[in-house]
Chains A and B, each alone.
Chain A
Amino acid sequence: MGHAYTPGLRVTARTLVRKRRLLPIHGQVLVEASARVEAQTVVARTELPGRVQTVNAINLLGITPEEIRDYMLVKPGDRVEKDQVLAENRPLISWFKTRVLSPIAGSVETVSEVTGQVLLREPPRPLELTAFMDGRVVEVLPREGVVVETAGAFIQGIFGIGGETWGRLAVAVDGPAQPLTADRVRPEHRGCIVVGGSFVGEDCFRRAREVGVAGLVAGGLHDADLKRLLGYDLGVAITGTERVGFTLVITEGFGQVPMARKTFDLFRSLEGRKASMSGATQIRAGVLRPEVIVPEAAGERAAEPEDGVARRGALREGELVRVIRDPFFGRLGRVRALPQELRPIASGTHCRVLEAEFDGGEVVVIPRANVEIIEG
């Protein structure tokens, strides 16, 4: 295949972002097409079917399954309250009466004459879906949800944890190579998305929780700190449902890695703006990367947005690339040559490579699979 390299993550100052906001099951859409929405606006609502509880009535009553209907006081479809009597026996001496009580409020689903089980269903649970980002509804998908569109900055991270959140952007370091330390997370960052430089670690996580930060963004983190934060060793990069008190996005990788200058400068230029962020990452076919979206305020700019589609063309000489694997992990260079033939590398394998020139003139050979294009 011709494209043996990793397409770069998108980092762009202005693009058109569209989000499909879909309910997990059919429900009711609450907004109309072309309506303006804010991140916290509820755009659709549904009711998730209640959980089912099982009650082993025959064991409690000491009867056989075939007899169960004779003892039931309720039937399928009936509503029941918590501790309501579902079934009872009728002994000669009332002192020996056994009652089967409902463990929940809900309704009777089934009564089985084969297993003797009574299935009860809890009332449905309401689920509200927010717009996630400030913007405009461009499409209503009846009973399913909406498509929200906004023009603004779009920054993809490489890995994240935690769900959707939003808040004002605050850059808490002086440069992309500076780690975000706990003392830089201040009380005024409550509810903010705090941007650091090369690294975010355990002490900072603790501080972020104390302050009530909505999200943290930095270049890298140590896996050991992640393990302590989650309480387990993350095996597969499918995230987004963690509840650690804030959402976390890293832009470069594991270890202490300066944030790409372009990414950092963009965050700095957007400081104080409301941003929406999601840590959800899914590294499988159909990859999903975490993201930070900073919508433009209404009427702020009327110009056409940049091309919204990530470029996935072939590598070219002169292109700026970032190395994404050791031994040059995190370094930026320009492509000097793209030899066609397979070349041997230090591991002993033969692969397609490129020659890159780092700042300072150092020229190195790197497998093409180990770089990503810096876009824009």
Chain B
Amino acid sequence: MTVPSADALNVVIATDCGSTTTKAILIERVDGVYRQTFRGEAPTTVERPFEDVTRGVLNAIAEVEELSGRRILDGERFITPARAGEGVDIFISTSSAGGGLQMMVAGAVKGMTAESAQRCALGAGAIVMDVMATNDGRMGHEKIERIRQLRPDMILLSGGTDGGTVTHVVELAEYIAAADPRPRLGTGFDLPVIFAGNRDARGRIQEILGPRTALTITDNLRPVLEREALGPARHRIHDLFLEHVMAQAPGYGKLMGWTGAPIMPTPMAVGDIMQTIARQRGINLIGVDIGGATTDVFSVFGGVFNRSVSANLGMSYSVSNVLAEAGLENVLRWVPFDIEEADLRNRIKNKMIRPTTIPQTLDELQIEQALCREALRLALDQHRSLATGLKGVQQERSIADAFEQTGTGRSLIDLAELDLIVGSGGVLSHAPLRSQSMLMMIDAYQPVGLTALSVDSIFMMPHLGVLASIHERAATEVFERDCMIYLGSCLAPSGPEGRARPGERVGAFEVRLPGGRVERGDMALGEVRLLSLASGEEAEVSFVPTRRFDAGAGRGERFNSRATGGVVGLVLDARGRPLLLPEERGERVRRLAEWNRALGLYPRAAGT
């Protein structure tokens, strides 16, 4: 299938082949505007007994055909171009089935080239199984053993700036050669290895790895310490993903022949659409996709894109690991009732072993939402440590800098500069009430100042990411109109500076709502309010904090801005930043119930 010209693109069918479900969406140009019109899904068929991904794709598309009444397939052939009532102009797809793209990366120094290599692989949509560096604390034989055990889909090797030392990167290449690693798929094939390190080491690397691996050499991803150049290596990863990984996966050869644009790894497509949106609007954003097994976090701050994957933080398969990593106390702090530790542990493990079950009772739901807050928080912590400025860079210091001892490699994630949070994944997209999704994200991320929040309605960001690669306008129109559900905005002053005093005044707000209505009031520490501000509406917000708080304009300074509305509204959050939770159990439960009541979170709960 070829890419039609922009004008001739009227009907698109797009699929995302996930590890369990293949999701198809139909996008049509309606009155000159692109809209997502129908969707269908079917189990993914990568594994036995089918072992052919196209079966699931055809089934999902068949569901779209049934619902839309549009004939898309003639047997296994796509009807193109689109005509009245039948056919499509293009078929596109993403994939994370069969475990997605699994990579190992290696770089000379842990905090420098190894970290750049990790960012590069993550940005290309990979799950990074291990990051190896000459100074990672492991002995040579331990590294070799690890490489051998992992069986990744490919290895990205970096190290050394151009013209710098070759010793370290050659040492890593020697380890890789000694391990003689085999690829995960296609046992008869050599493992793809990309070398994106010191140009001067290419000859040596070719000698060591050339005979044993499918070696590809590309531009150095850290040509000088002060600059990362991840693009060329990312492109090579995508090429090899198509040539080696996809070509070995069951049925993908056929699927690649059907698509009008190269198949993208799902997270790469999501990253692309996030970057497109941030660029078009000139905003900073954080996107999160919390799944059953893993949580992906994407961010664009100051135009710099980052992605991280928390491989064992999720709401079903990995839910028990959320408890293990967060600790019981951190989970319990969000549970608005008393529960025995043994009972909570058993419930969480039962969810882990039967991951497709859903909470039937309110307390089960509240436990899941408590775990979600912790999974989101932990995943952002991990993201923060990866989304940093470059480490090891020499900085010119002025006299003023001498008083501010900041090192290189500072996290790019500044919640006070955050404009938008986009949440997706079942627990956020399918919460019984949207207000629950909004508070889960506010509690987990604790945004400061004014921040808009949204959820992805049916997780169509992967599809839109590929669509953006061939027709950016179509992708952004669907993103705005059908993909995003704006929840509203959150205004949260940071503070208090120093010790918190219960009930102390945080400041005064004035909100000018559409239609001339004005809401005014005082906020005390620990208070939350919800003002009605519907989707598509905006409000003038003004907040005058007391001197121990900062709403975005400085401590004690008046803050003015415009807030975006949504299906929940405008949340005024005076619970403090960092968020202050009472330590005493009874008092905490009472407080949580109060906040839940203020946002109408659990209307069925007794007493709330």
Number of A residues whose C-beta is below 8 Å from B?
56
Once the chains bind, are A347 and B432 in contact (CB under 8 Å)?
yes
Q: What's the Cα separation between A180 and B433 when bound, in Å?
A: 44
**Contact pick for B364, options A232, A234, A326, A351, CB 8 Å:** A326
Question: Could you mark each residue 86-129 of chain A with 1 if its beta carbon is under 8 Å from any beta carbon of chain B, else 0?
Answer: 00000000000000000000000110101101010100000000
| Cβ-based interface call for A313 (8 A) | no
Please indicate the chain B residues that have their CB under 8 angstroms from the CB of A69 in the complex: none
A-chain residues with CB within 8 Å of residue B97 when the two chains form the complex: 285
Q: Which of A243-283 contact B (CB under 8 A)?
A: 253-255, 281, 283
CB–CB A285/B360 < 8 A:
no
Closest-by-CB residue of A relative to B341 is A224
* Inter-chain contact A119/B178, CB cutoff 8 Å: yes
Please pick, from B21, B323, B364, the residue contacting A325 in the complex, using a CB distance under 8 A. B364
Interface positions of A from 207 to 236, Cβ below 8 Å from B: 222-224, 226-227, 232-236
Q: Is the CB of B360 within 8 A of A367?
A: yes
Task: Determine how close the nearest CB of chain B comes to the CB of A114; give it in whole angstroms.
Answer: 4
Given contacts A51-B144, A159-B353, A223-B348, contact A327 B318 (CB under 8 A): no
Residue of A nearest to B293 (CB): A284
In chain A between 1 and 29, which residues have their CB closer than 8 angstroms to a CB of chain B? Answer: 1, 3-6
- 9 cross-chain pairs, A with B, having the tightest CB-CB distances, nearest first: A235-B321, A54-B140, A348-B432, A223-B345, A233-B324, A347-B365, A285-B19, A254-B346, A254-B349
Give complex CA distance A37, B358 in Å: 44
A326 & B361 in contact (Cβ 8 Å cutoff)? yes
- B residues adjacent to A (C-beta < 8 A): 19-21, 41-44, 46-47, 97-99, 139-141, 144-145, 148, 166-167, 170-171, 174, 177-180, 204, 293, 312, 317-318, 320-321, 323-325, 341-342, 345-362, 364-365, 430-433, 602-604
In contact, B358 and A235 (Cβ under 8 angstroms): no
From B42, B46, B145, B312, give the contact of A1 (CB < 8 A). B42
Q: How far is the CA of A159 from the CA of B355 in the complex (A)?
A: 12
Q: A52-B179, A236-B317 are in contact. List 19 more A-B contacts (CB 8 A).
A: A5-B356, A6-B357, A54-B144, A65-B167, A114-B166, A114-B167, A114-B170, A119-B178, A223-B346, A235-B312, A254-B347, A254-B349, A254-B350, A326-B347, A347-B362, A348-B603, A349-B359, A367-B358, A369-B358
Give the residue name and chain of the A residue nearest to B345 (CB).
A223
Bound CA–CA A121/B342 (angstroms): 48
Q: How far is the CA of A227 from the CA of B603 in the complex (A)?
A: 37
Partner of B21, one of A1, A52, A117, A224: A1
B41 near A1 with CB under 8 A, answer: yes
In the assembly, what is the distance between CA of A54 and CA of B134, in Å?
Answer: 13
**A6-B357, A222-B342, A369-B356 known; A349-B430 Cβ under 8 A:** yes
CA distance A117 to B321 in the complex (A): 40
* Chain B residue at minimum C-beta to C-beta distance from A6: B356
Known A1-B43, A51-B145, A351-B358; contact A158-B353, beta-carbon cutoff 8 A: yes
Chain B residue contacts of A284, Cβ below 8 A? 19, 293, 317
Given the interface pairs A235-B312, A237-B317, the reply to whether A283 lies near B352 with Cβ below 8 Å is yes
Which residues on the B side are within 8 Å of A117 (C-beta)? 140, 171, 174
Residues of chain B within 8 A (CB-CB) of A366 are 360
Q: Contact at A235–B140, with CB atoms within 8 Å?
A: no
Given contacts A110-B178, A233-B323, contact A6 B354 (CB under 8 A): yes
- Return B180 CB to nearest CB of chain A, in Å: 7
Q: Judge whether A109 and B178 touch: CB under 8 Å.
A: yes
Whether the Cβ atoms of B354 and A255 lie closer than 8 Å is: no
The answer, yes or no, to whether A71 is at the interface (CB within 8 Å) is: no
Q: Say yes or no: B321 contacts A236, CB within 8 Å.
A: yes
Whether A53 pairs with B41 at a CB distance below 8 angstroms is no
Among A322-376, those with CB < 8 Å from B are: 324-327, 329, 345-351, 366-367, 369-370
Q: Who on chain B is nearest to A328 by CB?
A: B360
CB distance from B291 to the nearest CB of A (A): 11
Most A C-beta atoms less than 10 A away, residue of B317, B342, B360: B360
Binding site for B on A (CB under 8 A): 1, 3-6, 49, 51-54, 65, 109-110, 112, 114-115, 117, 119, 121, 158-159, 222-224, 226-227, 232-237, 253-255, 281, 283-286, 324-327, 329, 345-351, 366-367, 369-370
Please give, as numbers and ranges, the residues of chain A lying within 8 Å of B180 by CB-CB distance.
49
Tell me, in angstroms, the Cα distance from A349 to B430 when the chains sit together: 8
- With A and B bound together, what is the CA distance between A227 and B348 in angstroms? 13
User: When the two chains form the complex, which single residue of B98, B204, B318, B433 contacts A348, counting CB atoms closer than 8 Å?
Assistant: B433
A115 to B159, CA, bound (A): 14
| Chain B residues, CB < 8 A from A324 | 350, 354, 357
A345 touching B360 by the CB < 8 A rule? yes
- Assembly CA distance A351 to B180 (angstroms): 50
Query: Hey, which chain B residues are within 8 Å of A346, CB to CB?
Result: 360-362, 604
**Residues of A contacting B602 in the complex (Cβ-Cβ under 8 angstroms):** 348
Alpha-carbon gap, A53 to B142, bound state (A): 8
- Are the CB atoms of A224 and B345 closer together than 8 Å? yes
Measured in the bound complex, the distance between the Cα atoms of B365 and A327 in whole Å is 12
The contact sample of 12 A-B pairs, CB cut-off 8 A, is A6-B356, A52-B145, A110-B174, A112-B170, A117-B174, A224-B341, A235-B318, A254-B347, A255-B350, A283-B317, A325-B354, A348-B602
Give the residues in chain B near A109, CB-CB below 8 Å.
178
Cβ contacts under 8 Å, B293 to chain A: 236, 284
Contact, CB under 8 Å: B178 / A52: yes
| Chain B residues, CB < 8 A from A232 | 324
Min CB distance B193 to A, Å, is 17
Q: Which residues of B contact A286 (CB under 8 A)?
A: 47
- Residue among A158, A234, A284, A324 with the highest chain B CB neighbour number at 10 A: A284
Nearest neighbor of B292 in chain A, beta-carbon distance: A284
From residue A267, how far is it (CB to closest CB) to chain B in Å?
20
Which residues on the B side are within 8 Å of A222 (C-beta)?
A: 342, 345-346
Within the complex, what minimum Cβ distance (angstroms) separates A157 from chain B?
10
Q: Which of A49, A52, A159, A223 contacts B141 (CB 8 A)?
A: A52
What CA separation (Å) do A65 and B171 show in the bound complex? 12
Docked CA distance A52–B20 (Å)? 38
Residues on the A chain within 8 Å of B321, using CB: 235-236
Residue of B293, B347, B348, B362 contacting most chain A CB atoms (<10 Å):
B347
Q: Min CB distance, B251 to chain A, in Å?
A: 15
Residue of B nearest to A372 (CB): B354
Measured in the bound complex, the distance between the Cα atoms of B196 and A216 in whole Å is 52
- In the bound complex, residues from chain A placing their C-beta under 8 Å from that of B171 are 112, 114-115, 117
CB-nearest residue of chain B to A227: B345
Q: CB distance B41 to A52 under 8 Å? A: no
Instruction: Give the interface centre of B42, B177, B342 by most chain A CB atoms within 10 Å.
Output: B342
A349 touches B139 (CB 8 A): no
- Smallest beta-carbon distance A346→chain B, Å: 5
| A329-B432 in contact given A109-B178, A347-B364, A348-B365 (Cβ < 8 Å) | no
CB-based contact B141/A115 at 8 Å: no
Partner of B358, one of A233, A283, A349: A349
- Chain A residues near B347 (CB, 8 Å)? 254, 326
CB closest residue in chain B, given A237: B352
Q: Are A370 and B317 in contact (CB under 8 A)?
A: no
CB neighbours (8 Å) of B178 from chain A are: 52, 109-110, 119, 121
Instruction: Give the interface centre of B20, B170, B349, B356 by most chain A CB atoms within 10 Å.
Output: B349
- Expressed in whole angstroms, the minimum distance between the Cβ of A272 and any Cβ of chain B is 30
Residue of A nearest to B313 (CB): A235
- Which residues of A lie under 8 Å from residue B99 when comparing CB positions? 285
| A119, B140: Cα distance in complex, Å | 9
The chain A residue with its CB closest to the CB of B328 is: A233
Contact of A233 among B42, B320, B351, B433 (CB under 8 A): B320
C-alpha gap A329/B351 in the complex (Å): 12
Of A121, A233, A329, most buried by chain B (CB within 10 Å of CB) is: A233
Known A110-B174, A112-B170; contact A347-B353, beta-carbon cutoff 8 A: no
Which A residue sits closest to B134, measured CB to CB? A115
Q: Which residues of A contact B324 (CB under 8 A)?
A: 232-235
- The smallest C-beta distance from A362 to any residue of chain B, in angstroms, reads 15
Which residues does chain B contribute within 8 Å of A254, judged by CB atoms?
345-347, 349-350, 353
Q: Provide the residues of chain B in CB contact with A226, threshold 8 Å.
A: 349
